[in-house]
């Protein structure tokens, strides 16, 4: 569908009269670096105008091949890509297929082809959203911000500091230990001991090292305090106590 029709259909009046009073400047940390890929310059300029007005930065590419090269080069760290489907050199679907070999950057497809087959094909390739032309530029910007938020949240969740072995799960950030989804009632010192052992799994940790790291340099108690806490920790871990190995004359080690 010609870009001129889309632009006439969705009002190319001066931006401040469109939604100036409804758009709030994005916070610095929420500013996105957007790659717009479309062979029609008018479409690129329309989307860019709305994106920049919303506080985002934009880089343009006029065909799929150039977009793939830009992503592969890694010269620019894109947060999200808006990709047209029907383009010369390399169509949008093929471009997404190539991009997915090297990156999981969120992609929103733009297309005049709104048939179910095309949408499904896009999602199978790893597209995050599919917008059919003619489209509302304002809605497109809101969609890309929503797609980025979802992806960013999912990435943050995956990046949590979590260790798992079979059904034992240790969430260091939340300071939670569970077996089969059931939370273990560990004392603060038991948790500290387990966290330090697991963080240094495979290493022989001396008794002195464990006491210093868990109780602090100014601890003046005897070694039996450590042994008592290890005993209680093993009891709480049940079948997973086997991973805490005693090294006679040395200390302890967590083995996988």
Q: Looking at residue 7, what is its pLDDT?
A: 41
Shortest CA distance to 119 belongs to which of 232, 110, 39, 210? 110
d(CA 239, CA 171): 19
CA atoms within 13 A on the CB side of 158: 6
Could you tell me the residue ranges of all domains in the chain? Answer: 3-158, 162-254
| Tokens encoding 144 | 């890309």
Domain 3-158 -> CATH class: alpha beta
pTM of the entire structure?
Answer: 0.53
For tokens 């009073």, what's the residue? 21
Q: Looking at residue 189, what is its pLDDT?
A: 87
Neighbours of 58 (CB within 10 A): 18
Neighbours of 237 (CB within 10 A): 19
pLDDT under 50: residue ranges of the chain: 1-29, 156-157
Classify domain 162-254 by CATH number.
1.10.10.10
d(CA 77, CA 73): 10
| Tokens encoding 203 | 């290493």
């Amino acid at each position: 569908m010609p870009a001129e029709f889309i632009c006439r259909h969705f009002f190319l009046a001066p931006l401040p009269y469109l939604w100036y009073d409804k758009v709030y400047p994005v916070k610095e940390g929420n500013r996105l670096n957007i790659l717009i890929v479309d062979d029609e310059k008018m479409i690129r300029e329309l989307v860019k105008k709305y994106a920049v007005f919303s506080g985002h930065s934009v880089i343009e590419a006029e065909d799929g091949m150039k977009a793939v090269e830009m992503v592969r080069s890694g010269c620019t760290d894109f947060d999200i890509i808006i990709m047209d489907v029907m383009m010369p050199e390399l169509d949008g679907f093929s471009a997404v297929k190539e991009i997915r070999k090297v990156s999981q950057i969120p992609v929103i497809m733009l297309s005049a082809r709104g048939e179910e087959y095309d949408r499904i094909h896009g999602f199978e390739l790893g597209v995050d959203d599919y917008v059919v032309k003619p489209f509302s530029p304002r809605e497109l910007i809101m969609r890309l911000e929503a797609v980025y938020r979802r992806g960013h949240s999912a990435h943050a969740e995956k990046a949590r500091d979590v260790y798992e072995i079979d059904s034992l799960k240790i969430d260091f950030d939340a300071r939670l230990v569970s077996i089969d989804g059931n939370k273990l009632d560990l004392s603060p010192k038991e948790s500290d001991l387990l966290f330090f052992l697991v963080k240094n799994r495979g290493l022989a940790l001396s008794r002195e090292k464990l006491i210093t790291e868990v109780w602090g340099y100014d601890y003046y108690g005897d070694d039996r305090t450590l042994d008592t806490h290890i005993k209680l920790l093993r009891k709480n871990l049940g079948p997973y106590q086997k991973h805490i190995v005693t090294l006679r004359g040395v200390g302890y080690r967590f083995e996988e």
